Structure 1
Amino acid sequence: MAALEGSNGSSRGQVHARHDEGAELNQQSWPADTLLGRMSTRSREALLELGTAVAYEAQHQVFRQGEESHHVVLLLDGLMKVFVHTEFGRPVLLALRGRGDLLGEISMLERLPHSANVMTCKPAQARLIKNLQLCDFFDRHSDAWAALAGTLGTRLHKADVGRTEFVACPAPVRVGRIIAEIAGAYGIRTAEGLDLDVALTQTELASLAGVSLATFEKTLRLLQQFGLVQRKSRRIVVADLPRLRRFGVLERENPYQYGIVDADVAQS
């Protein structure tokens, strides 16, 4: 990790440079369901001036499960994964976080050690903000609390949906939905489709969908057979996102039209 910013003893010119950088970032378009996407222009500009600018390399451990919480990370560019080590020794991927997301806020609010690991999937740019500094910011910008609450509410809703799908949806449908969601949010458009260049293994993707690796690979072959995805080396390319999304939706007369059979309904 490399810090990109000077100390508190920065010269006046450096302070102006930092303010200009924050103003430029503030004018960017941020994903609507992220913290930066939900905030007012005034509060977002103030938040972007907090803390220290940092650059992370790929596969950098940002937070460790069980460690004390001293700061949060505001992700400006790149992708990070949130995962836990279970008592059975098998890591479980919980979520992906992209530009505009805040990480470590739960530990800050609860004043507890980190409950999960956070690692970069690819090189990332962020701001490192001390917990006390962020709390003071929220006290001075009351609308920012509403933005944070909205973000946490969305994550809770997604967790509830995921739990419901785990019980109610056939495993192949869950796999299709996860691949479609990642492609829509983070996929890189190429001539062949949306490239899932997110540096995740198939085991991690299977974990995110709540299926076994064998079920994930079986579904991937099925999706490839129907022309919905292609496999390029170790990466997945979504060739037809609209059709893949239809694959992941049960609102159709025949939910078995893509080859989903009773044996696939098992959770793994």
Structure 2
Amino acid sequence: MKTPPWPPRSLLGRLRRRDADALLDLGTPVSYPAQQRIIRQGDAARYSLLVLHGAVKVVVDTERGRDVVIAVRGPGDLLGEMATLEHRPRSAHVITCSAVQARIIRSTELADFLARNAETCLAVARMLSERLRSADRRSVDYVVCPAPIRVVRVLLDIVQQHGSTTAAGWEVGVPLSQPEIASMAGTGLSTVEKAFRRLESEGVLGRHYRRVLIIDLPGLRRFGELPGGIPY
């Protein structure tokens, strides 16, 4: 069976064909419908999930009773590997944004595979390092950037990781609601609504229910004050 082209920033996208195929041979296939909680915060970590199709959101319950969306993952991404490898409880929920196909990989199976496969182990380390760097950058954004700019940067992150090109522009690729985007940007829903209205009036994006189309990607970068990439 021909292996599909995985997003380059996903774990499978970082691997050579033979290593990706070896990882895909692990575990057992599973399917989930949209809006299903497939990993629960606080549970014991007995397995990891390798996403093959669809998208999920990573959500944390806070002590103030508010759910916070901290990340979106898609095809080629590995989920739950930190708790699995550390033998610690899950640190977040994982909820499907759309129908998802994945492989469940038992903790011992993943650990044994990484011990035998140095290239994949290094790719996992690089993936985790990039996620940490992204979290650090977002922490800086919370301090130095106005809320509308944070909204735009969240959109840019999502489209760079999960977007696809169409004749009309870039499809964001993940069905996120405006409250979920507000949660990722650390701001209120009204700020997202105002930012979207301005971007629409400037011809930068178009939107439908839970779908966003980036019509002018360079323009979106200018709104996010990132014409030349991340400044730090």
> TM-score, normalised on structure 2?
0.91
Structure 1 residues 42 and 237: CA distance shift in structure 2, 3 A? closer
1:138 alignment partner AA: L
Check conservation: 1:193, 1:240, Cα contact below 8 A. yes
Structure 1 residues 144 and 188: CA distance shift in structure 2, 3 A? closer
Task: Verify: 1:150 aligned to 2:110, yes or no.
Answer: no
Secondary structure of 1:122 counterpart? coil
Partners of 1:45 and 1:190 in 2: CA distance: 29
Q: Spell out, residue by residue over 1:155-210, the C-alpha distance to the aligned partner (whole angstroms, 9 max, x if none).
A: 00100110111111121111112122323333354454334352221111011111
Check conservation: 2:47, 2:80, Cα contact below 8 A. yes
Residue of structure 1 in register with 2:86 after alignment: 110
Check conservation: 1:75, 1:125, Cα contact below 8 A. yes
Residue of structure 1 in register with 2:12 after alignment: 36
Secondary structure of 1:30 counterpart? coil
Query: Which stretch of structure 1 is more off in the superposition, 59-68 or 212-221?
Result: 212-221
Residue of structure 1 in register with 2:69 after alignment: 93
Q: Spell out, residue by residue over 1:197-235, the C-alpha distance to the aligned partner (whole angstroms, 9 max, x if none).
A: 522211110111111112111211221221112232443
Residue of structure 2 in register with 1:244 after alignment: 220
> TM-score, normalised on structure 1?
0.79
Task: Verify: 1:212 aligned to 2:188, yes or no.
Answer: yes
2:149 alignment partner AA: V
1:185 alignment partner AA: Q
Count of residues in Structure 1 that have an aligned counterpart in Structure 2: 228
Residue of structure 1 in register with 2:174 after alignment: 198
Q: Cα RMSD (Å) of the superposition?
A: 1.8
Q: Spell out, residue by residue over 1:74-114, the C-alpha distance to the aligned partner (whole angstroms, 9 max, x if none).
A: 11111111011111111100000011110000101210110
Secondary structure of 1:183 counterpart? helix
Q: Spell out, residue by residue over 1:28-48, the C-alpha distance to the aligned partner (whole angstroms, 9 max, x if none).
A: 322222211222333222111
Partners of 1:229 and 1:184 in 2: CA distance: 15
**How far 1:250 moved relative to its partner?**
5.5
Q: Where does structure 1 lack aligned partners over 5 or more consecutive residues?
A: 1-20, 253-268
Larger radius of gyration: 1
Check conservation: 1:33, 1:154, Cα contact below 8 A. no
Partners of 1:158 and 1:68 in 2: CA distance: 26
Partners of 1:144 and 1:48 in 2: CA distance: 12
Partners of 2:213 and 2:177 in 1: CA distance: 14
Q: Where does structure 2 lack aligned partners over 5 or more consecutive residues?
A: none
Check conservation: 2:7, 2:161, Cα contact below 8 A. no
Secondary structure of 1:75 counterpart? strand
